[in-house]
Amino acid sequence: MSIVPDTNIGKITFYEAHIGPWTSTPTQIGLVAADCTALQALITNARKAWDAQQAASEAAKAATTAMHNAVRAMHTLGAVDLAKIKAYADVTNDPNVYAKAQIPMPATPAPVGPPGTPFDFTVSLEQTGAVTLKWKCNNPSGAAGTVYEVRRRLSATGTFDYVGSQGVKSFTDDSIPAGSTALTYQITAIRSTRRGVPAQFNVNFGMGGDGLMVATVTEATASPSMKMAA
């Protein structure tokens, strides 16, 4: 293992610590006075260069911090001025304001499309007798606040009755009448006043080894494919 440290400052401090003893008795350790004189000069130069580099590094850090602060202050006020220009253009309804300010006119935001249609419907039967429904729904990018309206029909025909709404893509129906053997659910994605195309799914119950079970889930209207819950 080397007796001299690997770092620059380690090397400097090593030779600074040893040059004194070496200079006092050079011939007793195999050196001559000229060796020590030359090394001492190099040690002094190395220490000066190190100190200068450290000072420059600290100055560079301070300059970098000052630069970031100056740019931040400039942009903070500049952003306020840009907002004022936009507000003035809006108030005066004058698009030429942007040309005079030599900045681009804000792009007209594209309207967000209607909510999607639920698909990939799954059903699981809870121990309480309730039915948990889950589905997927591809809504437009940037859309927020979508809720799902769930309606249920107890017969093959007739109207759908409202049973609840959820802000997530699942719903637990705990109000199924006893003795029901088949249900049709209609799920509609709603965002504000916009309604998506509803999806309908038939759920048929049967008897299994553990009692009542979900026998089949079939698509009642044209929509993407479904799968049974595991």
Report the percentage of the chain scoring pLDDT > 70: 92
Identify the band that residue 208 occupies on the pLDDT scale cut at 50, 70 and 90.
low
Residue 151 pLDDT = 95
Assigned token pair, 126: 């809870």
Q: How many CB atoms lie within 10 A of CB 115?
A: 24
Indicate whether 220 pLDDT > 80: no
**pLDDT at position 221, please?**
56
For residue 207, what pLDDT is reported? 61
Whether the pLDDT of residue 229 is over 80: the answer is: no
Q: How many CB atoms neighbour CB 200 within 10 A?
A: 20
User: Please, what is the angle between helix 8-24 and helix 33-92, to 10°?
Assistant: 160
Q: What is the mean pLDDT of residues 136-158?
A: 89
Per residue in 35-66, pLDDT (tens digit) is 999 999 999 999 999 999 999 999 999 999 99
Instruction: Tell me the pLDDT tens digit for each residue of 77-112.
Output: 999 999 999 999 999 999 899 999 999 998 887 788
Please, which pLDDT band fits residue 1 given cuts at 50, 70 and 90?
Answer: low
Whether residue 123 contacts residue 156, with contact meaning beta carbons closer than 8 Å, is answered with no
CB 83 within 8 A of CB 91: no
* pLDDT at residue 225 is higher than 90: no
- In this predicted structure, the answer to whether residue 135 has a pLDDT above a threshold of 80 is yes
User: Which is more confidently placed, 208 or 223?
Assistant: 208
Cα–Cα distance, 118 to 41 (Å, whole number): 83
Listing DSSP states for the chain in one string gives: --SS-SSHHHHHHHHHHHHHHHHHSGGGGT--HHHHHHHHHHHHHHHHHHHHHHHHHHHHHHHHHHHHHHHHHHHHHHHHHHHHHHHHHHHHT-THHHHHHT-PPPPPPPPPPPP---EEEEEEE-TTS-EEEEEE--PPTT----EEEEEEESSSSSPPEEEEEESSSEEEE--PPTT--EEEEEEEEEETTEE---EEEEEEEEEETTEEEEEEEEESSS-S------
